[in-house]
Structure 1
């Protein structure tokens, strides 16, 4: 919270937590996994900003006010996340941890390699990021299973 406070406070008044249950001074909330019902008593709230790409934590709030919700969309976020997911899957699939453990010992015991099609990869969340990662993994031949709330 302190880093956000420093970044935002240069041009506006910033409140880290509402002063009371009905704090009228707050028009915009910048949140990540906030306390349930924290926003419900803010009579002048105009919008909620999520500091992460996801907004599930906001929709989980039982006292969610009826205001616009804004999420982070970075130009390269999908590409970076897809690369990270593919790297982790390939590292696991090709026994990267085993080879890194063998390297300082200068021993090389190659385990049997399985084709990508024999490996099932689960993606929990098929939003924009999950679909992008699933698409690349499918193109590499992995069996991809996905889950989505919607």
Structure 2
């Protein structure tokens, strides 16, 4: 029962060390050192490409990221389980990033940055957190963790998802029929949706127009979800006050792209959260144990839904 790793070799060295410490009985190999293809039961990869079909006894494909949209599922046999990464490092990183972004918006740091460039010393009236309504698109593991943290600051928090969810202290909306009501009560919109056919181009003029005038967005979902032309127009009109963007389409963002020069846009290079190799190994080993015991694996995707 061999595990094959196919991703960044520097991080892979940490994976190999952790596997050797916690599961010395499980052979761990790093692509392209495949060894005997017939011995491989588990594949850990960011983009396995066509590798899955070349391993005759492969039993599970693990994504080393929180999402699976980077995988070409058509190149992974339909009977193979695909499992996305759920581990504490990913959650903690996202909570930190989104919390800082919301607080930067709430404390008017975009405006103060513009004043600093103009050498203007002018206090802006501070509003209490209770008056700044936060809304999260996507109530999965990351969205729920973000809302649980933001609640502690006193922000009125709401979340929207395709199917009904319950989160303590959070007003939950579900389905297309409630989307307009969710947006109408949201001053800071955080996108943590997975990338699917339904969410591609989701953040467009329709969404921006349904938000209160002067709302802000934090885009930490996936780049193709954001219609950048619509965002630029909404910024120009003041419908959107500011935007924190960690994911773009394409990535990297071209040097001549208009987003770079927008004074009310902050761009980071897809760094909101990343898999922590140490805790990720623990998560994978737990799922390997579950798989061998015939138990449900944590993070196994619904192939029909794409997440």
What TM bracket, shorter-length normalisation? 0.5 to 0.7
* Residues 1:141 and 2:129 are matched in the alignment: no
Alignment of 1:1-150 (within 5 A): 1-7=8-14, 12-16=28-32, 24=38, 26-35=40-49, 38-52=51-65, 54-57=66-69, 61-62=73-74, 63=76, 64-67=78-81, 69=83, 71-74=85-88, 77-103=90-116, 106-139=119-152, 140-148=154-162
SS at match of 1:27: strand
Aligned length: 144
> Deviation string for 1:12-38 (max 9, x for gaps)?
4322498xxxx5464321112444x65
Gaps of 5+ in 2: 1-7, 21-27, 165-307
Q: Counterparts of 2:31 and 2:163 in 1: how far apart (Å)?
A: 33
Match of 2:175 in 1: none
RMSD: 3.8
> Within 1, Cα distance between the matches of 2:82 and 2:117?
53
Tell me: higher relative CO, structure 1 or 2? Use CA pairs within 8 A at least 6 residues apart.
Answer: 2
- CA 1:146–1:81 in 2, change beyond 3 Å: closer, same or farther? same
Relative to structure 1, the CA distance from residue 120 to residue 145 in structure 2 (aligned partners, 3 Å threshold; closer, same or farther) is farther
Give the deviation of 1:60 after TM superposition.
Answer: 6.9
- What CA distance in whole angstroms lies between the structure 1 residues aligned with 2:39 and 2:11? 18
Q: Which runs of 5+ in 1 are unaligned?
A: none
After TM superposition, give the deviation of residue 106 of structure 1 in Å: 4.4
- Give the Å deviation of 1:95: 1.3
TM-score by length of 1: 0.64
Distance 1:34 1:129 in 2: 24
